[in-house]
């Protein structure tokens, strides 16, 4: 029960894109160097983010990536889904035989628990947006500025 590195790298990359001026796209190479992430791996992630419609790309020299949506419309669940797929917290393997827990599948408490949990989990991730994360960042900076 961990978030994958893919997910984390994607978040970090997106935050960087958000902080950059909107005109020039940022290349994968730059992202990789600035954020200290493995280049080829990051490429795959950027590809996923593109397929998911979160960023768009400019090919060829001087190309790179930019956000394709306003950051307030990018939820963390979007990022999750793109990097890790739909959230399915269980496989219910033993349930296929219909009496895994001594109950028929749709009467299974465990099944019900997972379903409940899934909903809450997704809603929670949806409640965070890229924008919200960035604002937290600003607050943190101001805070530390005052302290220092």
Partner DNA sequence: GATAATTCCGATAGAAACGATATGAATAAT
Partner DNA sequence: ATTATTCATATCGTTTCTATCGGAATTATC
Site residues (vs ligand FES, CB under 6 A): 92, 95, 100-101, 105, 108, 110-111
End-to-end CA distance of the chain: 37
**Touching DNA, residues 124-143 (CB under 7 A):** none
Position 63 contacts DNA (CB under 7 A): yes
- Residue 58 or residue 134: which is nearer to DNA going by CB? 58
Q: Which among 23, 31, 75 is positioned nearest to 52, based on CA atoms?
A: 75
Find which of ligand FES, DNA, a second copy, none residue 30 binds, CB within 5 to 8 Å per kind: DNA
Q: Which sign does the torsion angle of CA 34, 40, 43, 44 carry?
A: negative
Q: Is 41 in the site for DNA (CB under 7 A)?
A: yes
- Rounded CA gap, 136 and 148, in Å? 18
Q: Does 64 bind DNA (CB under 7 A)?
A: yes
């Amino acid at each position: 029960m961990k978030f994958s590195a893919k997910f984390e790298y994607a978040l970090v990359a997106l935050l960087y894109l958000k902080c950059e001026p909107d005109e020039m796209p940022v290349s994968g190479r730059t992202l990789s160097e600035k954020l200290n992430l493995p280049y080829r791996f990051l490429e795959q992630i950027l590809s996923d983010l593109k397929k998911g419609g979160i960023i768009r790309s400019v090919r060829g020299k001087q190309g790179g990536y930019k956000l394709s949506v306003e950051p307030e419309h990018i939820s963390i669940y979007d990022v999750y889904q793109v990097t890790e797929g739909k959230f399915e917290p269980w496989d219910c393997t033993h349930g296929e035989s219909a009496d895994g827990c001594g109950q028929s599948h749709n009467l299974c408490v465990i099944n019900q628990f997972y379903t409940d949990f899934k909903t809450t989990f997704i809603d929670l991730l949806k409640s965070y947006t890229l924008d919200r994360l960035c604002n937290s960042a600003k607050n943190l900076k101001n805070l530390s500025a005052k302290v220092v």
